[in-house]
Structure 1
Amino acid sequence: MIHTEPIWIEDQAFTFVHVELPKTNLLVIYNDFGYIMCGALDVDLLNDKLADRNIVAGRAVGVRNRDELLYAPLQKVTNYAVEKFGWYEGIIGKHALLALTK
């Protein structure tokens, strides 16, 4: 099953996507500029093979729902997210998303 819903973080609009898969879940929160995601995200692939796309993304591990994703530290972020929006490993998901709106 796939569930999507709009969410608001300090008056900024984002979309939450929850995909129920066998034995795991896929969680994503995004806007037009970038996204954070559960541990299924391959940041190395984005940095190495897709670097020319300038993808803004970060991965949090061990999260099981929207709130955990919002408040977990990002374990890995893309190089472009660092350059463009000042993300860093350990930034809280909510803070990373809010940086996309400035």
Structure 2
Amino acid sequence: MVSTETINIEGSIFKAVTVSLPKTTLLTVSNDVGYIMCGALDVGLLNTKLADRKIVAGRAVGVKTIEQLLNAPLESVTLEAEQFGIAKGMIGSEALLKMI
């Protein structure tokens, strides 16, 4: 099952997507600039093989809901995200606000 919702963080609008899969759930929150995602995100791949795409993204692990993703510290971020001031350890919602 796939569900989407609009999330307002301090007046900025983001799209949250939850994909229920067998034994796991895929979570993303995004806007036109970038996104944060659950542990399924391969930041290493984005920084190496897909580096030319300049993807702004962060990864939080151990989260099971959108709310947890928004409040979890990011375990890793892409090199492009660092250019926006997004850093490892930053809370998901704070990282999203840097993507405005």
Is TM more than 0.5 here? yes
Q: How far 1:48 moved relative to its partner?
A: 0.4
**Residue 58 (structure 1) shift:** 0.4
The secondary structure found in structure 1 opposite 2:40 is coil
Could you tell me how far apart the structure 2 residues matched to 1:7 and 1:94 are? 10
Q: Does 1:65 align with 2:65?
A: yes
RMSD: 0.5
Quick check: 1:5 aligned with 2:8? Answer: no
What are structure 1's unaligned runs of at least 5 residues? none
What is residue 80 of structure 2 aligned with on the other side?
80
Q: State the 1:93 CA deviation.
A: 0.3
Q: Distance in 1 between matches of 2:86 and 2:12?
A: 18
Q: Distance in 2 between matches of 1:21 and 1:42?
A: 18
SS in 2 for 1:90: coil
Q: What is the letter of the counterpart of residue 98 of structure 2? A: A
1:8 Cα deviation after fit: 0.5
Displacement of 1:7: 0.9
* Cα displacement (A) at 1:92: 0.5
Structure 2: which amino acid aligns with 1:64?
A: K
Is residue 2:94 matched to residue 1:95?
yes
2:19 aligned with 1:29: no
Distance in 1, matches of 2:9 and 2:26, equals 20
- Report the TM-score, using the length of structure 1 for normalisation: 0.97
- Write the distance in 2 (CA, Å) between the matches of 1:68 and 1:12: 19
Kindly state the Cα deviation for residue 36 of structure 1 after the two structures are TM-superposed: 0.1
Aligned length: 100
Q: Deviations over 1:30-78 (max 9, x none)?
A: 0000000000000000000000100000000000101100010000000
Question: In percent, how many aligned pairs have the same letter?
Answer: 60
Runs of 4+ deviating beyond 3 Å: none
